[in-house]
Amino acid sequence: MELKTPSLGVGRTALFTAWMRQLESERPDALFGDPLAAVMLSALAEDPVLAEVTEMIKQTHDSAAGFPTYFAVRTRFLDDEILDALGSGIRQVVTLAAGVDGRTVRLGLPPGTRWFEVDLPEMTQFKNALLAHSGLALACERRGVAADLREDWQASLRAAGFDPQQPTVWLVEGLLMYLTRAAGESLVAGLTELSAPGSRLMLEHLKAAMLEEEGRFVRERVEEQGAEWVSARDDLEEWLGGHGWQARVYAGDDPHIGHGRPVAPLPACWLAAAALPNGRL
């Protein structure tokens, strides 16, 4: 089966992130392994877009030692939070802007887990084809949902079998910085509306300084791939609290979540894990 590289800018950032996960997987002290990333990179080895992504990785790595480690730490932090939530009995997971995330094949998930991956139609088609090409066994029931998160994605999610009466684990990774602040506000309000009591939310966002001079170099690398950071914020605990979520928030280079890894200060991001104890507000 021939795989076609996603043409969208955010699709290329998904390829970049998958490569970062593959680099981590090759380490003897890897925080996780991602076989889907390896399959994707092999399948696209002759694609010129992948060569461009490779050069971007080299430039970024040479200018910021420890930069790739952020993606490993982020991935492991979110992995641990997801597994903790599933360990509490939740069996419904939704990833918004799933990209080529390999968690549905690499995590040890409890029986009965149903995982919805929401993304643009082109990315959903690519991901479905990649999984079929890989031959990897799914660790849960997976449903790809084609939808634009700036539009009525909730209806598409419901149509795919999502049950708003059941607690949900929400994953919002590598997304909010590409949405306007208003769109991000709408996204969190929308997922909160669909969240039953006991739901969990794992979320990443940029620090505000990344939209200023401090973040210029990394922003330029992102823009070279056809994407653009358009929002950031430093008030995640208060912001999520306003939607009813009780959040723990960590800096991306916080040693408490770093597993002993030296993480470069750029890109400067926040990682949040939140619970919704009282249902919708």
Query: Is residue 226 in some structural domain?
Result: yes
- Please say if the pLDDT value at position 63 is more than 90: no
Query: Is residue 238 in some structural domain?
Result: yes
Query: Is residue 223 in some structural domain?
Result: yes
Query: Is residue 50 in some structural domain?
Result: no
What Cα–Cα distance (Å) separates residue 272 from each residue in 37, 91, 163, 245? Answer: 25, 20, 24, 11
Work out how many domains the chain is built from and give that number: 1
For 237-263, how does the pLDDT look when each residue is reduced to its tens digit (9 = 90+)? Answer: 999 999 999 999 999 999 999 999 988
Query: Is residue 105 in some structural domain?
Result: yes
For 107-137, how does the pLDDT look when each residue is reduced to its tens digit (9 = 90+)? Answer: 999 999 999 999 999 889 989 999 999 999 9
**Which position has the higher pLDDT, 210 or 40?**
210
Query: Is residue 124 in some structural domain?
Result: yes
**Which position has the higher pLDDT, 125 or 10?**
125
* pLDDT reported for residue 40: 84
Residue 267 pLDDT grade (very low, low, confident, very high; cuts 50, 70, 90): confident
Give the least confident one: 65-69, 86-90, 135-139, 273-277.
65-69
Average pLDDT, the chain: 88
Pair 133, 43: CB distance under 8 Å: yes
Range of the domain at 193: 67-276
- Please say if the pLDDT value at position 31 is more than 90: yes
Query: Is residue 47 in some structural domain?
Result: no
* pLDDT reported for residue 69: 85
Pair 107, 79: CB distance under 8 Å: yes
Query: Is residue 214 in some structural domain?
Result: yes
Residue 17 pLDDT grade (very low, low, confident, very high; cuts 50, 70, 90): confident
- Please say if the pLDDT value at position 139 is more than 80: yes
* pLDDT reported for residue 223: 81
* pLDDT reported for residue 61: 54
Pair 35, 102: CB distance under 8 Å: yes
- Please say if the pLDDT value at position 176 is more than 70: yes
CATH number of the domain bearing residue 221: 3.40.50.150
For 82-98, how does the pLDDT look when each residue is reduced to its tens digit (9 = 90+)? Answer: 999 999 999 999 999 99
